[in-house]
């Protein structure tokens, strides 16, 4: 645990020190759970967004994009159920005065049984060595089965009481499990209450004539209300999808963990409209496809897992999260939801307009069912960034801090470094910059000794360094150094573009997601 906390602290300070993420309005002591993306962060975020957009829109001839406004007619949120049901169950500790999400307290408690399972696995793997069969162990070991049954029992009861809005039972469960305030250790709890997460605002110049609005808590509704416009003008045939990236806002009460849970964040969502009855199949297809996309970034299968929901949102008939192993444990990165025809039917009812599709293959009109994929861009950023940050022991006994970002999303693809600041070397380096800038984000750095500049670029996440030296003047060759291997090679300036492109080309990376 201490290790995890240390690693997370390193992530926070590295993000600030290297111009990735700053606290919002820092000179005024910041605004809780609101962050700004700095010079490198904005590039990483843009690249991740583009990586998603290409995978969803460019690579599917039946998915198109949309950019709906953040402000929407207030009835949207009545229809979608957010006014009545977009709540978190909150509980306060009377001694520490700290507020928690009751479901998170219970989930964290249940997760301790999973930690115990993992400990048993480790012990057994050590005891049995090569003969260890993990799958068999997990399905037969009595202690493991007992831990998993306990975890299941806790989550099932919580799911049922939340679904039935039985908040008294949620509190009873917290008390029966003996869950204490993580901060103070006190078990002196208030009742559990529902709290709506939408931010309200006003439209209009004068107080009497102002209309109450909400900042959208998800981008999805902008897609639903435009469903028929897009279908008709784009002549889309079911099954088809509409994808959108954009800001969403939630008045999160328990806003910890840096950019993982913010009050203003960005979502990348896709609603896939399907014929009723086929939603289960599409739900499975999208689960698999989205996991493959994440894996294509190369962060390792061991860092992902699916979590099927016990408590379904008010609109879903099936839902799963893709969880990622963040520095504070496995947490939700992306949601895949089978949303039925809930949203379109509700918008039909509230607007009085038909939102139906005529399916000429079966000669029938219907309200389509929807399978949604929804990933938080900020969480994806944190997943990629925290996984990339590494301290490496070097052969000479030194350590280096290196940010091994997937090259395809790294803010700068190469740094061009003249060996010295004289004898015409900076001029050649700037010429190389001017050649490469048309294809890649590149940076120029002439300050400090070359070794220090290499280290700085390692910590910045730049996949390549290109050193210009006296030999360059003779034969147009430069040294190209690879961030991850630190391998150095002598190549011609004319070869640089293709060498860099081979490692950062989005198409090449995306083909791994197929």
Do 501 and 439 form a contact (C-beta atoms < 8 A)? yes
Do 91 and 186 form a contact (C-beta atoms < 8 A)? no
Report the residue number, 324 or 357, with the smaller CB distance to ligand GAP: 324
**Nearest distance, CB of residue 359 and ligand GAP, angstroms:** 25
Which residue from 43, 103, 310, 334 is in contact with ligand GAP, where contact means CB under 6 A?
334
Report the residue number, 346 or 500, with the smaller CB distance to ligand GAP: 346
Give the pairing of strands 318-326 and 304-308.
Answer: antiparallel
Q: Using alpha carbons, list the distances in angstroms from residue 388 to 194, 382, 384, 405.
A: 38, 10, 6, 5
Do 184 and 98 form a contact (C-beta atoms < 8 A)? yes
Which residue from 43, 88, 218, 469 is in contact with ligand GAP, where contact means CB under 6 A?
218
| Residues 233 to 252 in contact with ligand GAP, rule: CB under 6 A | 250, 252
Do 473 and 488 form a contact (C-beta atoms < 8 A)? no
Do 330 and 324 form a contact (C-beta atoms < 8 A)? yes
C-alpha 507, offset from chain centre: 21
Residue whose CB is nearest to ligand GAP in the complex, by number: 376
Name which of 186, 257, 183, 259 is nearest 5 in CA terms.
Answer: 257
Stretch that binds ligand GAP, among 109-117, 262-270, 354-362, 467-475 (CB under 6 A): 262-270
Q: What is the largest CA-CA distance in the chain?
A: 80
Quote the CA–CA distance of 330 and 323 in Å, as a whole number: 6
Helix (H) or strand (E) holding 388: helix 377-388
Classified as helix, coil or strand, 438 is: coil
**Nearest distance, CB of residue 244 and ligand GAP, angstroms:** 10
Which residue from 11, 57, 158, 220 is in contact with ligand GAP, where contact means CB under 6 A?
220
Binding of ligand GAP at residue 265 (CB under 6 A)? yes
Binding of ligand GAP at residue 374 (CB under 6 A)? yes
Which residue from 43, 88, 103, 332 is in contact with ligand GAP, where contact means CB under 6 A?
332
Neighbours of 451 (CB within 10 A): 8
| Residues 480 to 509 in contact with ligand GAP, rule: CB under 6 A | none
**Nearest distance, CB of residue 195 and ligand GAP, angstroms:** 14
Stretch that binds ligand GAP, among 60-68, 73-81, 187-195, 265-273 (CB under 6 A): 265-273
Binding of ligand GAP at residue 458 (CB under 6 A)? no
Stretch that binds ligand GAP, among 227-235, 261-269, 288-296, 398-406 (CB under 6 A): 261-269
Phi, psi of 72 (to 5 degrees): -135, 160
**Nearest distance, CB of residue 209 and ligand GAP, angstroms:** 32
**Nearest distance, CB of residue 478 and ligand GAP, angstroms:** 41
Which residue from 267, 340, 386, 457 is in contact with ligand GAP, where contact means CB under 6 A?
267
Binding of ligand GAP at residue 378 (CB under 6 A)? yes
Binding of ligand GAP at residue 45 (CB under 6 A)? no
Neighbours of 251 (CB within 10 A): 16
* Torsion sign, CA atoms 59, 64, 67, 68: negative
Stretch that binds ligand GAP, among 156-164, 373-381, 462-470, 485-493 (CB under 6 A): 373-381
Report the residue number, 82 or 483, with the smaller CB distance to ligand GAP: 82
Neighbouring-strand partners of residue 272: 241, 371
Which residue from 239, 335, 406, 418 is in contact with ligand GAP, where contact means CB under 6 A?
335
Which residue from 47, 93, 173, 262 is in contact with ligand GAP, where contact means CB under 6 A?
262
DSSP-assigned states of every residue in 318-351:
EEEEEEEEETTEEEEEEEEEEEETHHHHHHHHHH
Quote the CA–CA distance of 295 and 406 in Å, as a whole number: 11
Which residue from 144, 243, 270, 333 is in contact with ligand GAP, where contact means CB under 6 A?
333
DSSP-assigned states of every residue in 147-177:
HHHHHHHHHHHHHHHHHTT-HHHHHHHHHHT
Binding of ligand GAP at residue 368 (CB under 6 A)? no
Which stretches of the chain bind ligand GAP, using CB under 6 A? Answer: 218, 220, 250, 252, 261-262, 265, 267, 269, 332-335, 372, 374-376, 378-379
């Amino acid at each position: 645990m201490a290790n995890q906390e240390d690693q997370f602290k390193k992530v926070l300070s590295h993000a600030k020190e290297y111009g990735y993420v700053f606290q919002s309005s820092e000179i005024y002591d910041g605004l809780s759970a609101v962050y700004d993306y700095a010079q490198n962060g904005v590039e990483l975020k843009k690249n991740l967004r583009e990586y998603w957009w290409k995978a969803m829109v460019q690579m599917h001839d039946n998915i198109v994009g949309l950019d709906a406004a953040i402000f929407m007619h207030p009835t949207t949120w009545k229809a979608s159920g957010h006014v009545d049901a977009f709540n978190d169950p909150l509980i306060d500790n009377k001694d520490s005065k700290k507020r928690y999400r009751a479901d998170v307290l219970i989930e964290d408690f249940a997760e301790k049984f999973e930690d115990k399972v993992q400990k048993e696995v480790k012990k057994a793997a050590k005891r049995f060595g090569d003969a260890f069969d993990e799958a068999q162990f997990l399905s037969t070991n009595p202690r493991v089965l007992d831990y998993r049954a306990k975890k299941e029992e806790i989550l099932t009861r919580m799911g049922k009481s939340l679904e039935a809005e039985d908040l008294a039972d949620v509190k009873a469960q917290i008390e029966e499990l003996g869950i204490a305030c993580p901060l103070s250790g006190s078990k002196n709890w208030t009742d559990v209450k529902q709290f709506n997460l939408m931010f309200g605002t006003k439209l209009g110049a004068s107080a009497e004539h102002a209309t109450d609005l909400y900042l959208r808590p998800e981008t999805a509704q902008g897609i639903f209300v435009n469903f028929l416009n897009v279908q008709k003008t784009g002549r889309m045939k079911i099954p088809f999808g509409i994808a959108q990236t954009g800001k969403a806002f939630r008045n999160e009460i328990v806003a910890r963990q840096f950019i993982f849970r913010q009050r203003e964040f960005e979502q990348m969502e896709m609603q896939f409209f399907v014929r009723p009855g086929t939603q289960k199949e599409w739900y499975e297809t999208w689960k698999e496809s989205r996991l493959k996309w994440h894996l294509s970034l190369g962060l390792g299968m061991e860092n992902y897992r699916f979590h099927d929901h016990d408590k379904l949102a008010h609109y879903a008939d099936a839902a799963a999260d893709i969880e990622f192993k963040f520095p504070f444990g496995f947490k939700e990165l992306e949601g895949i939801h089978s949303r039925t025809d809930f949203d379109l039917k509700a918008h039909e009812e509230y607007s009085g307009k038909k939102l139906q599709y005529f399916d000429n293959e079966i000669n029938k009109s219907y309200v389509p069912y929807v399978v949604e994929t929804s990933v938080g861009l900020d969480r994806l950023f944190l997943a990629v960034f925290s996984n990339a940050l590494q301290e490496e022991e070097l052969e000479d006994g030194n350590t280096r801090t290196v940010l091994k970002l997937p090259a395809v999303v790294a803010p700068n693809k190469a740094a061009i470094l003249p060996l010295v600041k004289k004898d015409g070397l900076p001029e050649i380096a700037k010429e190389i910059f001017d050649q490469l800038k048309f294809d890649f984000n590149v940076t120029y750095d002439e300050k400090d000794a070359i070794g220090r500049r290499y280290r700085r670029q390692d910590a910045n996440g730049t996949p390549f360094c290109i050193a210009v030296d006296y030999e360059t003047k003779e034969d147009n060759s430069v040294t190209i150094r690879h961030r991850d291997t630190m391998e150095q090679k002598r190549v011609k300036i004319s070869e640089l573009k293709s060498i860099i492109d081979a490692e950062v080309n989005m198409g090449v990376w995306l083909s791994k997601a197929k």
